[in-house]
Amino acid sequence: MLRTGPKQLSLYSILYDKIPENHILKSINSAVDFSFINKLLGDSYCKYYGRPAKEPEMMAKLLILQYLYNYSDERVIKETQVNLAYMWFIGINPEDDLPDPSLLAKFKTKRLKETRLDDIIKEVVRQCVEKGIIKSNNGIVIDTTHIEANTIKKVPERIMKQLAKNIFKAMDQEEYEIPDYTQIEDHAAAKQVMKDYLEDLIEQVGKESSEEVSQAVQEAQEILESDLFIEQKGIRSLVDKDARVGHKSKTQNFYGYKAEICQTTDGSLITSVTVEPGSYVDGSNFKEHLEETRKSGLTVTGVYGDKAYFRPDILNLIKEKGASAYIPVSASAYKINEEMFSYNKDSDQWFCVMGNETVKMVPRTRKRNGKKKQFLEYSFERKHCRNCPRRAECIGKSKRIARVLIISINTPELYEYSQRAKTPEFLEEYRKRAKIESKNAELKRFHGLDRARGYGLRSIGIQAKLTALAVNLKR
């Protein structure tokens, strides 16, 4: 049963007068009205029956304190018991009892789900816009940051050994013999030995009637059926099955998750957060970020991102929403040698550095990896190409008389964008993207987002969003 109403009516509440007016928690409380949390979460409580529940607003504020100061569940309760400012912020009397730390975990998983956290982040941003703390017309910066998993990554041999142990444990079999893969020097051979052993074990267990055994066998079968598992690109831990290996650079990788964060250029408030496994491709959730930002009452005027976001679908969506894109050109998406070729959109012609021009354009379609892909084929004037002094450099060993320029259907439009990206105005405006680097550092260094607190995608998603909420309020 949920009860709401004034709580700080005790005579001892006079002690709160000792809290300085410039205390950060007083500043936060004066800037944001948290009463909306009770309404937002009210439908997850019984209104008329059961024991009185802890107020959602109070529980949410305890979580804000936890992520603001990077405490554990137990530590935030202990600190609040002796800190007047904390007690005042969560809305209790100095002599009141605090909830058990276990209630915080239950509140996060059962009441405060990821979707509700998105709504809280949006409402906080909306209030800031409404009160003029940040501008309603704002640019957004988007980037990903890495979160290390709360476990180590293991080789497939070790995981298969653990899967075999789990099956024997489910069968209540204490004596068993599993191959010692560490004695096999060849890594590929060790993987194959363990795979063959596990497959034989699954076949031997067969139709075991015990539900516990069936679950252990099913888990082993699902992992073995994945082609990515043996290639070490899939599951690397039975403790955290959602974590994946990702890449920081060509030579550096990490094991865990990627948090994609969207923040305003003015005010540096985080408007949207998504968390995906470490193998996530940057920008795949861009549409979701843009929509979540717009729902908070912001009018997006510009989007700032690194080369990973230079993709036709993202650029087209930004243009469709009437915003400007400040994203550097990526060579992987735009493969034109601009020292050799230039484009005129009015005549839809390409010109080479030697003065030749295309005389014909033919749209083509070809299959690649089972999918149809469209491209454009521009043909240059043959006579000019035949006598061109740079023919060998341009055409090479091709038997064609004239150069044929084969490009994607988006290349002509991207050419125009690439020219704008070279202007001083673009380069000056793009400097705003750097704001998110300091935000990522703040989230990791002071609020614990460098490493996962729990296991699984859902748990890390809640951690990232609560951290973003705390950092927004601090800002």
Highest mean predicted confidence (pLDDT) among 52-66, 96-110, 264-278: 264-278
Mean pLDDT, all residues of the chain: 90
How high is the pLDDT of residue 12? 72
Of the candidates 201, 123, 218, which has an alpha carbon nearest to the alpha carbon of residue 165?
A: 201
pLDDT tens digits, one per residue of 237-249: 999 999 999 988 8
> Which position has the higher pLDDT, 111 or 48?
111
**Tokens representing residue 283 in the block:** 């920008």
Question: What token pair was written down for 4?
Answer: 């709401």
Torsion angles phi and psi, residue 286, rounded to 5: -60, -40
Beta bridge partners of 360: 379
Which ranges in the chain are annotated with CATH 3.30.420.10?
130-149+244-328+428-474
pLDDT at position 51 is 55
The average pLDDT across 421-442 equals 94
Statement: residue 67 has pLDDT above 70: yes
pLDDT at 339 over 70: yes
Q: How confident is the model at residue 107 (pLDDT cuts 50, 70, 90)?
A: confident
Helices (H), 134-245: 156-170, 187-205, 211-225, 227-230
- The angle formed by the CA atoms of residues 449, 451 and 452, to the nearest 5 degrees, is 95
Q: Which residue do the tokens 């439009």 mark?
A: 413
The yes-or-no verdict on residue 207 having pLDDT over 80 is: no
The listed range with the strongest mean pLDDT (8-17, 43-52, 59-68) is 59-68
Q: How far is CA 201 from CA 102, 217, 238, in A?
A: 40, 9, 19
Is 80 exceeded by the pLDDT of residue 208?
Answer: no
Mean pLDDT on 125-134: 92
Sheet holding 371-380, edge to edge: 358-368, 371-380, 404-408
Distance of CA 413 to the CA centre of its chain: 29
3-state secondary structure 334-365: CCCCCCCEEEECCCCEEEECCCCEEEEEEEEE
Find out if CATH 3.30.160.270 is the number for domain 130-149+244-328+428-474.
no
- Average pLDDT rounded to a whole number, residues 171-180: 88
pLDDT of residue 49: 53
Number of Cβ within 10 Å of residue 423's Cβ equals: 10
CA dist 363 and 374 (Å) reads 7
3-state helix, strand, coil in the chain (%, to 5): 45, 15, 35
On the question of pLDDT at 2 being above 60, the answer is no
**pLDDT for position 238:** 94
Task: Judge whether residue 1 has pLDDT over 50.
Answer: no
What confidence tier does 204 reach under pLDDT thresholds 50, 70, 90? confident
- Percentage of the chain surpassing pLDDT 70? 95
